[in-house]
Structure 1
Amino acid sequence: MGTTPLEHLLQESPDDLAAWRAYSDVLSEQDDARGRLIQLELRLAREVRDREREALRSEIDRLTEEHQESWDAELPEGVTAVARCHGFATKVAVDWSREAPARIAEARQGRFVTRLRIKPGAAAEESDAEYFSAGPDIDEYDMPLPPPPHEAGGLADLDLGGVRELDLSYFRIGDPGAEALAAAASTGRIETLDLRYCGIGDDGAAALATSGSFGDIRRLHLQYNRLTGEGVRALARFERLEALDLRYNRIGADGAQALIEAPFAGSLTRLLLHRRDVSDAGVQVLASAPQLPSALRSFWRSV
């Protein structure tokens, strides 16, 4: 399905209310009920009386219940809507399998699909269940040590063009999967990358940081991986970072020093870490770092 100039504008500027009003007219001319839905939801967003808001919500619910199944049917088999805007899927989820790259390529043709969630497939989940039922060892955070990485070499075959948010959280791809992901093609600008609980170490972080597909990352979630100070130093290549989650990584004082030396240090508005992630010495490094915004320094002085 080709994207019209108006749809492309809305992909780039999803908060452009005038463009949505124009698009609602286009859809209404095509007898698409989402044209009416846009009108109703834009009215609801404005200040109106309580009685009118109740009536608007009632009509929105009726339209959605009547048509959402058929709207979601526009997605390819094996792809589900995770988030929607005016009835259109904006974030979709795919279970990882041999067919996943083709399904993702087809899903990306959706008019407003710019956010992608890739989940472990059924085979990976069964393998994990067997591992944890056997009673795995516990790490110093009192959390179970993860089993070996899932097979995810096929991530290199992905075309991530047009994707703004990529979410692989809890898909334990490890360093091999991260290196495969780094080879994926992207002609767009991925701004949010969620890799929580993915089992990624320093080599995987370095591969992603040097990949041309992720040069525009603003928000990076790396909670509970296997990074050390060396891996944090590799993250310096993400020069535009604004939010970084490194909780439950053993980065130590060396990692704290790498953070304040990174080119994004002064632009950070959110930095999630625990004292034991960076050690007492690392806390002092962060608390006294002039490179960090004053709000972040003040927080670390109180830790």
Structure 2
Amino acid sequence: MTYCVALRLESGLVFLSDSRTNAGVDHVATSRKMSVFENPGERLMVFMTAGNLSISQSIKEIIGEHMNGAGKTIWTVDSMYEAAQIVGEAIRTVYEREAKALEKFGIDFNVSIIFGGQIKGERCRLFQIYSAGNFIESHNENTYFQIGESKYGKPILDRVITPASTLDEAAKCALISMDSTLRSNVSVGLPLDMLLYENDTLAVTRFVTIGEKNQYFQMIRENWGKQLKSVFDGIADPVWNADPATTSNVLSAQGSRSEPLVVTPPQGVGNDSQPAPLQTLAQGSNGKQH
């Protein structure tokens, strides 16, 4: 399994990926899931993957060489949209070549991709690309994309991130999102790759591989749980069967007619029914000793 997240902000882009590919009691493997296509001063594109590793690696190799119908490659297209189309075409190429063979062995064609960056002359753009090669683009209504084991790290992103968030704020939030996922799912693991891209730099300027001893990530892992517990303890316990005018913490108002959905016992089962007495191996059905 994996977890990758990317955020599109007014100030640029943030990318974060884990590196775990297998997670069993006796087989833990890692492989980097973030790749960068960079021509400094002209274009920078980041490619992150989740799903079948062999499929992802094949797609990445094809992307660097694939030529579209206009005779352009990922290195020569004029827009990130065209670059995303090339990634989609690479996915379909691998599907046509390998899907039937994989199916014979009971293996699904499973891949998800986050692809984003900037080409000189246009704005930063971010895409999520699916197994069929189709894709969607990030806009202000969907500031981030996740692939892989996304559910554990989603709440903090929804509560904190806006297009106006700074790159450092987004980096902090992405790392908290990752820490929440690491704590809840053993199939996601260190080391992590993080890249922060500022608008119009057109080069890698801030990148880090994060391991167990990374000072900042250690601080997040230690303090985030403590802060959550502190906030939790600061929220009052619920008050039951009380007048809402007397307190602000009423969960069940006095005189409330709320009732559960009750399943009634079948006919013949009374309130005074008692469980049958336990029998030992030395007793028969009549309860007498043999």
TM-score range, shorter chain: under 0.3
Q: Which structure is higher in RCO with an 8 Å CA cutoff and minimum separation 6?
A: 2
What is the TM-score when the length of structure 2 is the normalising length? 0.23
**More helix as a share of residues:** 1
What is the TM-score when the length of structure 1 is the normalising length? 0.22
